């Protein structure tokens, strides 16, 4: 029987989760089957159950690992003694880099979370809501300190996050600028839009 191939420091479960992210992005959570996943990993479907309980467990793991990374980053940024505009830039750079370097996981977390079941669904929605409020609060502090022009902070957060989710088209493009250029262009446009 075939075994799941792993690299050093990567567990078989990590391999499965990574392949699941790719499969869920390509086919959507609902359409992807355990048979599809087993084929992508290179084992019999029954062998997957030695490492995971269900397809739903994989979605749960993907969504919450991404959410936890974002919450950890905003904790770090909020604690820094730097101007609000610098905090905003740090968060934007983090979002952009996550979308560039962990695209499939972030894509699945952003698009497929609605297939989570409660209590996980409610918990995930709450985490997203809290994250956006905290990001908006940083913008509001920048407005109070005259670093950011007077705008509606929650709307600004939505616009910025939607712009970054558009990096999906960069991944599909055959003639794309480098990741570094993409990051600099996006930061220039998004941060510049708050201050000019």
What pTM did the predictor assign?
0.88
Centre a 10 Å sphere on the Cβ of residue 86 and count the other Cβ atoms it contains. Answer: 15
Structure-model confidence comparison of residues 44 and 67, the more confident one:
67
Contact (CB, 8 A) for 194 and 149: yes
d(CA 154, CA 141): 13
User: What is the pLDDT, as a whole number, of residue 1?
Assistant: 41
CA end-to-end distance (rounded Å), the chain: 62
pLDDT at 41 exceeding the cut of 70? yes
For residues 20-48, give the mean pLDDT.
86
R_g of the chain computed on alpha carbons: 19
User: What is the pLDDT, as a whole number, of residue 28?
Assistant: 92
Contact (CB, 8 A) for 112 and 125: no
For residues 123-151, give the mean pLDDT.
96
**Looking at the chain, which residues constitute the CATH 1.10.357.10 domain(s)?**
55-195
**Looking at the chain, which residues constitute the CATH 1.10.10.60 domain(s)?**
12-48
CATH number for the region 12-48 comes to 1.10.10.60
Q: Is the domain covering 55-195 a CATH 1.10.630.10 domain? A: no
d(CA 66, CA 105): 7
């Amino acid at each position: 029987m075939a075994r799941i191939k792993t690299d050093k420091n990567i567990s078989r479960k990590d391999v499965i989760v990574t392949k699941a992210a790719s499969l869920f992005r390509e086919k959507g959570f609902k359409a992807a089957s355990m048979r599809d996943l087993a084929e992508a990993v290179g084992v019999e479907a029954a062998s997957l159950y030695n490492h995971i309980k269900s397809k739903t467990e994989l979605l749960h793991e993907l969504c919450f690992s991404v959410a936890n990374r974002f919450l950890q980053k905003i904790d770090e940024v909020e604690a820094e003694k730097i101007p609000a505009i610098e905090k905003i830039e740090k968060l934007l750079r983090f979002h952009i880099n996550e979308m560039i370097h962990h695209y499939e996981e972030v894509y699945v977390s952003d698009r497929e979370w609605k297939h989570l079941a409660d209590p996980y669904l409610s918990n995930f929605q709450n985490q997203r809501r809290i994250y956006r409020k905290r990001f908006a609060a940083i913008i509001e502090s920048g407005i109070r300190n005259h670093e950011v022009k007077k705008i509606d902070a929650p709307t600004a957060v939505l616009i910025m996050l939607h712009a970054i989710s558009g990096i999906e088209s960069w991944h599909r493009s055959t003639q794309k600028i480098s990741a570094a250029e993409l990051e600099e262009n996006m930061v220039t446009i998004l941060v510049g839009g708050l201050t000019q």
